[in-house]
Amino acid sequence: MAARNRPLLKSINRSRRILGIKALWCLLPLSFLTTGKAWSSMKSPATLPIPPESSSSTAPRYTDTISILDFNAETSAADNYAAIQAALDSGKHVYIPDGEYSVSKTLLIRHSGQKVFGSGSIVMSKGEVENVFIAEGINNITFDGVTVIAGGGIGSIYHTCCIKLVQCNYPTVNGCILSGHIGGAVQLVNSHYAVINSNQIGAAGDAGQEDAFSIDIAVYFSGDGHHIRGNRCLGQGGYGIVVQTLNDSPADFDRIDNTLISENMIGKHSCYGILMYRGKQRSQVVGSVVSTNIIDGITGSRKNPAKGDNSFGAGIYLQGAEGISVTANNIRNCNQQTTSELLAPAGIGISNSKRVTVVGNIIEDCHYHGINVNDSNHDGSVIGGISISGNMLRNIQKTGVRIVTASNILISNNTLDTCEHGIYVSSQKSKTPCEDVVIASNIVKNTRVNGLYAMFSLGCIISLNRVDNCGGSGIVLFSSGNTKIAENILSFAAVRGVDIDATCFGLNVVSGNMVTDSHTAFHFAGKTQSVNNLSSNSKLEYSGAFATGNPPG
């Protein structure tokens, strides 16, 4: 188990070496690499292992290779199932030469250590829901460079797969061309240490349909140490990459951990780009990294079957996932048809999760929120928090960073340009207030409404932010208490620089802030202690109960 404790950096560096993507970092904008200030109370959420090498004694050694032509497979044949299955049953490595070879049934791989490779194509009969390849209960199998086309038949999420791997250890799917799928171009079920690398995933069986639900790469039930990297997920179905637990019985609950999802390109889909989902409360999706992916064009066109509304559409969505690092992803043009606040719709959406870091991502042209955190059911871990740092958000239709009924949140060193609200923190009125939220050292500009807004919150700190050109106010506090607002610079606010509403309670301390070129500098209607605040080219407005002097503590 020593390998499970190796540092995250070593695992990611190994992935880069395998992919040969070291130069990618040189081409990324500087904001990709920004990490923001460290949050001392946050520990590293994920320590990913390098998949251990399998012992040679667990798999037979193969010294020769056979071609499917040796078993009379022909491109002109209506069905090559028998020939190709016979080749696989030989136990030798199987070569698929150039050409298309039709099959009508699922091909079974029964031998550990076997390799299927070549430049040819295996094509399932049109309209079939059969999986093309299935391997179950074996180790160290490899698919390399082959083309696999599923039949495109609309069945369940477990059918119409190009390659399905069940209870397999150390499988590799590398450099393949896959399409025609529903359940997955690659589907992993209760498998461990898979490497799904540099595959080209084309049109799914339901590609382009408004209610598409197909999945390009799926990980189900339990699994450990998967590396999913460098794939082009262009299925145009429902989901790019899904990691989901399902079982929840006390004796048999699922756990998926130490998953690396990196350097993938994910195009148009109807539901989600990357989904990490705790299917049941007792099951676990933990300790994983989602890094340096490009996600573009998630529509949200498929209606939520449970609600009948358009609540899908996030670029990356974490539900119940704990200890996850979301870093240096580039997310564009998501939530195109999203209409519901359910399921934390955003470029990056987080529900019922804790111990999550969201660092150095670029989110642009998003049709809903930029980053959205919602723990309204309080199903997240009571330990740890969420850190949102060093992200760049541009042209967000709604709120840049939105926090709803969640506590222990750090929002720091982010840049937000052109949003409705910049940063919005609120609890549902009937729920526990948001507590211990720190909003620090952010740049917020060109908001249609407010720059920073806190409602139904307690003990928040808003400091060292720069807010410029707001259609509303720079900082607004509503029905909140014991808030510290310090050393912010606010300019060109159409309404007020700092606005403390009469609904606020406790002692709110406003100190060392500068407001310039705004309609009104300060409005204090709730109980406020004002210390050393400055303004220029703005009307001063102080009203309500407040005192001046040194703030307590």
Taking the model in full, what pTM does it have? Answer: 0.87
Q: For residue 442, which of 389, 481, 483 has the smallest C-alpha distance?
A: 389
Per residue of the chain (553 residues), give pLDDT as tens.
Answer: 444 334 433 443 434 333 333 333 333 333 333 333 333 333 344 445 555 554 433 334 445 899 999 999 999 999 999 999 999 999 999 999 999 999 999 999 999 999 999 999 999 999 999 999 999 999 999 999 999 999 999 988 889 999 999 999 999 999 999 999 999 999 999 999 999 999 999 999 999 999 999 999 999 999 999 999 999 999 999 999 999 998 765 556 799 999 999 999 999 999 999 999 987 777 888 999 999 999 999 999 998 888 888 889 999 999 999 999 999 999 999 999 999 888 899 999 999 988 999 999 999 999 999 999 998 666 555 566 899 999 999 999 999 999 998 889 999 999 999 999 999 999 876 568 889 999 999 999 999 999 999 999 999 999 999 999 999 999 999 999 999 999 999 999 999 999 999 999 999 999 999 999 999 999 998 788 999 999 999 887 765 555 444 433 3
23: part of which helix (H) or strand (E)?
Answer: helix 22-27
Query: Residue 255 burial by CB count (10 A; 0-12/13-18/19+): exposed, middle or buried?
Result: middle
In a domain, 506, yes or no: yes
Collapse the DSSP code of 307 into the 3-class scheme (helix H, G, I; strand E, B; otherwise coil) and give the result: coil
Tokens of 375: 């723990």
In this prediction, residue 5 carries a pLDDT of: 39
Q: For residue 462, which of 447, 474, 448 has the smallest C-alpha distance?
A: 474
In a domain, 291, yes or no: yes
Tokens of 111: 């031998």
In this prediction, residue 121 carries a pLDDT of: 98
83: part of which helix (H) or strand (E)?
Answer: helix 81-89
In this prediction, residue 521 carries a pLDDT of: 94
In a domain, 7, yes or no: no
How many residues are given for the chain? 553
In this prediction, residue 382 carries a pLDDT of: 55
Q: What is the DSSP letter of 56?
A: G
Domain residue limits at 328: 65-542
In a domain, 110, yes or no: yes
Q: What is the DSSP letter of 505?
A: B
Q: For residue 203, which of 149, 273, 153, 124 has the smallest C-alpha distance?
A: 149
Tokens of 95: 């070569």
- The owner of tokens 């791997």 is 165
In a domain, 169, yes or no: yes
Q: For residue 205, which of 130, 261, 119 has the smallest C-alpha distance?
A: 130
In this prediction, residue 540 carries a pLDDT of: 75
Residue 160: CATH number of its domain: 2.160.20
Give backbone dihedrals phi and psi of 26, rounded to 5 degrees, phi first.
-70, -25
In a domain, 469, yes or no: yes
In this prediction, residue 43 carries a pLDDT of: 39
Collapse the DSSP code of 30 into the 3-class scheme (helix H, G, I; strand E, B; otherwise coil) and give the result: helix
In a domain, 130, yes or no: yes
CA-based end-to-end distance of the chain? 48
Q: What is the tally of structural domains in the chain?
A: 1
In this prediction, residue 527 carries a pLDDT of: 81
